[in-house]
Amino acid sequence: MDPLSSEEIERYKRHILLPEIGGVGQQRLKAAKVLVIGAGGLGAPVLYYLAAAGVGTLGIIDDDVVSLSNLQRQVIHDTGTIGEQKTESARRSIARLNPHVRTMHFEERFSLVWAHDYLKSFDLVIDGSDNFDTRYAAADAAETAQVPLVTGAVGRFDGSVTVLKPYETGSDGNLLPGYRDLFPAPPPPGVVPSCAETGIVGALTGVIGTIMAMEVIKLITQTGEPLIGRLLLYDALASRFDTVRYKRRQG
């Protein structure tokens, strides 16, 4: 791992003071290559906090452009970037926040074809997408490439986060669960409306996206207990968190 410069030591001093992270953990963050799918409501806080934390390389894949209605929740963008590619807008925000972070941006929709060519270049994947096709593609591709996946989703006033490493075995000797063990199949088209149809509280994406970023930091620094085999649920209206445990489906 590359040593930290004096400027980086000062920038990340509050991390380095933590015994659970320390200098070694910060070096792991610097060496990490993380792909973020989607630079929208969930991707925005994920990208900001991982850049601030010193993740060395952030890949961003998104085929959309910034619109005025995005700015209520996609805090990595601003009024001056309306009409720009989200990947480019996010790249410039990250550069202003932390010049030590390298970004790679891909102006296209995540797909299994793209994953076949690029995914193994990354150590970890975060799915902040807003559609079921991408979520299942990301889960399948990450499992095939044997790359950890942090995935989150939000509704009007609720959200969820989990961590997937289905290519590894647990303490019981069985394979850890995958996305399809939790959600065997996507719902029929039109059953789950989009936030464009029903609305969403902007701050909710900040809550869920920040938890996703925390899970990434834990995985990279090898600190704490990631949400593997556990689905964290957040109800914003009731100000309540719940956890649901799940396992690999037999057969």
Six-digit token string for 70? 């995005």
Contacts of 134 (CB under 8 A, 6+ apart): 37, 38, 109, 110, 127
pLDDT at residue number 185:
87
Find out whether 132 and 186 touch, Cβ atoms under 8 Å: yes
pLDDT score of 251? 65
Please classify residue 184 by burial: count the beta carbons closer than 10 Å to its beta carbon, then call 0-12 exposed, 13-18 middle and 19+ buried: exposed
Contact 229, 158 (CB under 8 A): no
Nearest to 3 by CA among 98, 100, 91, 94: 100
211 token code pair: 């938890």
CA–CA dist 249, 176 (Å, integer): 10
Under 8 Å between Cβ of 136 and 171: no
Which pLDDT score, from 0 to 100, does residue 250 have? Answer: 82
CA distance 130 to 168: 27
Q: Which is it for strands 158-164 and 230-235: parallel, antiparallel or unpaired?
A: antiparallel
Measured distance CA(38)–CA(130) in Å, rounded: 8
pLDDT of residue 188: 77
- Spell out the per-residue pLDDT of the chain, length 251, in tens: 789 999 999 999 999 999 999 999 999 999 999 999 999 999 999 999 999 999 999 999 999 999 999 999 999 999 999 999 999 999 999 999 999 999 999 999 999 999 999 999 999 999 999 899 999 999 999 999 999 999 999 999 999 999 999 999 998 899 999 999 999 988 777 667 677 778 899 999 999 999 999 999 999 999 999 999 999 999 999 999 999 999 998 86
